[in-house]
Chains A and B, each alone.
Chain A
Amino acid sequence: MITIDKLTKTYNKGQVLAIKDVSLEVKRGELFGLIGPDGAGKTTIFRILTTLLLADKGTATVNGCDVVKDYVKIRNNVGYMPGRFSLYQDLTIEENLNFFATVFGTSIRENYDLIKDIYIQIEPFKDRRAGKLSGGMKQKLALCCALIHKPAVLFLDEPTTGVDVVSRKEFWEMLARLKAEGITIMVSTPYMDEANRCDRIALIQKGQILSVDTPAGIVGQFPVDLYAVHSANTHKLLREVRNYPGTDSCFAFGDALHVTFKGGAAGAHEAGAGPAGLTNYLRERGLADVGMEKIPPGVEDCFIQLLKS
């Protein structure tokens, strides 16, 4: 449905590299996630695919249409929801929706089924101007406007940034329903915990793809055992665990530390430098309440691991 072949894009006459040799493939009907921190190049990829930006090198197709040659066809067939709310703030919900329906040569009624679940949530406010809506309502309106012409592919650039936890959860449920309607969805997010909602994800950093797989596949690639270590004094714990000679990596995750050990995969730890020795080591240094257990890695752990290697 979407193919990207060795796309490269630079800004400021080649001084700033946005993406480099990015290649991807998104299958029909897939919910595909681009996961990466701010400035990784996610928006650049979206803008190239939605024909708003020309790449320096490489080619891309959406729904079989080339993003340069067949841009008119693409514009008729895709929905795009930019990261920043960009509907008319001085028009009401209904006027915005109606406007975008008409410019695509359709009407709200014609595709009402597709947006119904989302639209009924904001319908009570349909005479309110878009600028006066709350963040969650704006996001729902933007999604309705991106869907109103029944696009084959939906591009959502950081749709959940700045949205509360409940709305985020609702939003992903909406996406799951849209996927069931057969719409191919490409979504980007800086939140690693949302990655599990996608069929497949691409981890992206500094304009380069680190890994593409299903969330389970990505997690399965994690090469070593991972331990969660916690104590009341997290600050001291972090310092001491990092000083422990057997520690390979150690990062704070909420109120626990995620730790890997040198030579962890084979279990061939040096004597007194493995996971078993850590509790003793910490107790000697005055941390008596240390708890430690082996945990399955998450996408974020994989991301950090990939960045390291």
Chain B
Amino acid sequence: MKTLRFLLEKEFRQLLRNRQLMRTLLLAPLIQLILLPTAADYSVKDIGIAVTDNDHSTTSRRLIEKIVSSGYFRLIGYTDGYPQALKMVEQDKADLALQIPIHLERDLVRENQKQVFVSINAIEGTKANLGGAYLRSIVSDFDDEIRLQWNVAQSDAPTVSVASSNWYNPYLKFPLYMVPAILVTLVTAMVAMQSAFNIVQEKESGTIEQINVTPIRKHIFIIGKMIPFLVLGIVLFTMGLLVGWALYGVRPVGSLLTLYGSLVIYLLSMLGLGLLLATYSGTQQQAMSLSFFFINIFNMMSGVFTAVDSMPGWAQAIVASFPPSHFIRIMRMVVLKGSGIGDIKYELAWMVGIGAILNIWAVLNYRKTA
């Protein structure tokens, strides 16, 4: 126990002395939390639209006006022929081309129906999807409007309409959804990577040899390496939480005890990963490329930006083995919904299980290699 105290004293002294590292650790959360939630936004605006109006009627003009005034679309071109409109899409000036057929107004009155035609540039999937959906809803809205106005007989069949209300994030504020997830990625990158680098550095500089000829037991050495980064992770998390609150007003609805309890379990599992990576690397460069690989996959697949639930089954199975995916869920549930321990027990169990596997694996491999 006394040895552990001396080790910790040494570790903290070295950490605090590493100015560059401290600067990164303090600034990174701030910058990421300012940039990401405000910049990365799912709602699509400013969709360029090129319209070909073959009807030139009051109705067609009203439709165009309705589309433009919705706020989602920007009228890029008003062309005489469909080829010109399509050309604008091809040149990437417009994102979609809308063709209003000749006799729109007349046929609507006479035949009670008429189709408009839309071409969408689908290179940017989200934009295409959302743009198409917005346009569809605007057109159907417009349809209702003119029917009402002209007193066209509504069909007698009953219709089902959907009324939705958004819970836990009523105004669909994006930062509210992003801040908890970004906090997780921050802690992940800093803690898992830095702990791996730190251990590998001792290998690289040969100091681990010097430690190995002392009576320090290996598990004490490992614990001495983990505790400082656990503390660092908690400090970082707290800072991030404060920044999220100050900038976006994100305040955890659930209990802080639940949140920090889960954080400690999460950090222990990620420290296990860091240690494991360290046992497989001989130089800091190797550790860097290994951890970069994991961090990248974690960030892309753990549900920070894209929902895990909409991934194919095999991908979901893989993601289930990522501790960050569970902690991101916990964060969103506790911060936005106020979930308690009972609601997050499966996620906690997953993290404990994966953490145990990673740590045991790391310790076994550490014995063998060092």
A positions within 8 Å CB-CB of B: 50-52, 72, 75-76, 78, 80, 82, 84-91, 95, 99-100, 102-105, 145
Tell me the complex Cα distance, A102–B7, Å: 9
Known: A52-B212, A95-B10. 15 other contacts (CB 8 A): A52-B213, A72-B215, A75-B213, A75-B214, A85-B206, A86-B205, A91-B13, A91-B14, A102-B3, A102-B6, A103-B3, A104-B214, A104-B215, A105-B2, A145-B210
Q: Considering the complex, give the chain B residue whose CB is closest to the CB of A155.
A: B213
B216, chain A: closest CB distance, angstroms: 5
Tell me the complex Cα distance, A166–B343, Å: 72
Do residues A51 and B213 form an inter-chain contact, with CB atoms below 8 A?
yes
For residue B215, which residues in chain A have a CB less than 8 angstroms away from its CB? 72, 75-76, 103-105
Q: Considering the complex, give the chain A residue whose CB is closest to the CB of B10.
A: A99
Tell me the complex Cα distance, A194–B282, Å: 34
Find A80's partner among B2, B210, B216 (CB 8 Å cutoff): B210
| 9 sampled A-B residue pairs with Cβ under 8 A | A52-B212, A75-B212, A82-B210, A85-B206, A86-B206, A87-B210, A95-B10, A103-B7, A104-B214
For residue B14, which residues in chain A have a CB less than 8 angstroms away from its CB? 88, 90-91
For residue B141, which residues in chain A have a CB less than 8 angstroms away from its CB? none
For residue B205, which residues in chain A have a CB less than 8 angstroms away from its CB? 86, 89
A109, chain B: closest CB distance, angstroms: 16
Q: Considering the complex, give the chain A residue whose CB is closest to the CB of B5.
A: A102
For residue A103, which residues in chain B have a CB less than 8 angstroms away from its CB? 3, 6-7, 211, 214-216
Do residues B209 and A86 form an inter-chain contact, with CB atoms below 8 A?
yes
Tell me the complex Cα distance, A90–B14, Å: 7
Question: Does B18 sit within 8 A of A, measured CB to CB?
Answer: yes
Against A, the Cβ 8 Å flags (1 = close, 0 = not) of B120-132 are 0000000000000
Q: Considering the complex, give the chain B residue whose CB is closest to the CB of A72.
A: B215
For residue A86, which residues in chain B have a CB less than 8 angstroms away from its CB? 205-207, 209-210
Against A, the Cβ 8 Å flags (1 = close, 0 = not) of B194-214 are 000000000001110111111
The 8 lowest CB-CB distance pairs between A and B, nearest first, are: A86-B206, A102-B6, A80-B213, A86-B210, A103-B214, A75-B215, A50-B213, A86-B207
Do residues A87 and B207 form an inter-chain contact, with CB atoms below 8 A?
yes
Tell me the complex Cα distance, A117–B2, Å: 30
Question: Does B17 sit within 8 A of A, measured CB to CB?
Answer: yes
Find A90's partner among B2, B18, B206, B210 (CB 8 Å cutoff): B18
Interface residues of B in 51-108 (CB under 8 A from A): none
Tell me the complex Cα distance, A91–B6, Å: 14
For residue A52, which residues in chain B have a CB less than 8 angstroms away from its CB? 209, 212-213
B303, chain A: closest CB distance, angstroms: 38
Q: Considering the complex, give the chain A residue whose CB is closest to the CB of B15.
A: A90
Tell me the complex Cα distance, A68–B213, Å: 13
B52, chain A: closest CB distance, angstroms: 69
From B2, B209, B216, residue with most partner A Cβ within 10 Å = B209
Tell me the complex Cα distance, A145–B205, Å: 16
From B7, B211, B215, residue with most partner A Cβ within 10 Å = B215
Q: Considering the complex, give the chain B residue whose CB is closest to the CB of A51.
A: B213
Q: Considering the complex, give the chain A residue whose CB is closest to the CB of B6.
A: A102
For residue B3, which residues in chain A have a CB less than 8 angstroms away from its CB? 102-103
From A85, A99, A102, A103, residue with most partner B Cβ within 10 Å = A103
A265, chain B: closest CB distance, angstroms: 47
Tell me the complex Cα distance, A175–B212, Å: 24
Tell me the complex Cα distance, A88–B2, Å: 20
B93, chain A: closest CB distance, angstroms: 57
A148, chain B: closest CB distance, angstroms: 11
Do residues A90 and B10 form an inter-chain contact, with CB atoms below 8 A?
no
Do residues A88 and B207 form an inter-chain contact, with CB atoms below 8 A?
yes
Known pairs A52-B213, A103-B6; A95 contacts B13 (CB<8 A): yes
A277, chain B: closest CB distance, angstroms: 55
Q: Considering the complex, give the chain B residue whose CB is closest to the CB of A149.
A: B214
Find A82's partner among B6, B13, B206, B214 (CB 8 Å cutoff): B206
Tell me the complex Cα distance, A105–B14, Å: 21
Tell me the complex Cα distance, A89–B214, Å: 18
Interface residues of B in 210-230 (CB under 8 A from A): 210-216
For residue B18, which residues in chain A have a CB less than 8 angstroms away from its CB? 90
Q: Considering the complex, give the chain B residue whose CB is closest to the CB of A100.
A: B214
Q: Considering the complex, give the chain A residue whose CB is closest to the CB of B216.
A: A103
Find A91's partner among B10, B209, B212 (CB 8 Å cutoff): B10
Interface residues of B in 109-161 (CB under 8 A from A): none
Do residues A88 and B213 form an inter-chain contact, with CB atoms below 8 A?
no
For residue A145, which residues in chain B have a CB less than 8 angstroms away from its CB? 210
Tell me the complex Cα distance, A90–B209, Å: 17
A150, chain B: closest CB distance, angstroms: 14
A73, chain B: closest CB distance, angstroms: 9
For residue A89, which residues in chain B have a CB less than 8 angstroms away from its CB? 205
Q: Considering the complex, give the chain B residue whose CB is closest to the CB of A75.
A: B215
Interface residues of B in 299-328 (CB under 8 A from A): none
Tell me the complex Cα distance, A292–B216, Å: 60
B12, chain A: closest CB distance, angstroms: 12
Tell me the complex Cα distance, A23–B310, Å: 67
Tell me the complex Cα distance, A78–B215, Å: 10
Against A, the Cβ 8 Å flags (1 = close, 0 = not) of B6-33 are 1100100110011000000000000000
Q: Considering the complex, give the chain A residue whose CB is closest to the CB of B210.
A: A86
B7, chain A: closest CB distance, angstroms: 8
B197, chain A: closest CB distance, angstroms: 14
From B3, B205, B207, B213, residue with most partner A Cβ within 10 Å = B213
Against A, the Cβ 8 Å flags (1 = close, 0 = not) of B164-207 are 00000000000000000000000000000000000000000111
For residue B210, which residues in chain A have a CB less than 8 angstroms away from its CB? 80, 82, 86-87, 100, 145
From B6, B7, B14, B210, residue with most partner A Cβ within 10 Å = B210
From A82, A86, A105, residue with most partner B Cβ within 10 Å = A86
For residue B7, which residues in chain A have a CB less than 8 angstroms away from its CB? 103
A27, chain B: closest CB distance, angstroms: 22
For residue B214, which residues in chain A have a CB less than 8 angstroms away from its CB? 75, 100, 103-104
For residue B212, which residues in chain A have a CB less than 8 angstroms away from its CB? 51-52, 75
Tell me the complex Cα distance, A222–B202, Å: 46
For residue B209, which residues in chain A have a CB less than 8 angstroms away from its CB? 52, 80, 82, 86
For residue A84, which residues in chain B have a CB less than 8 angstroms away from its CB? 206
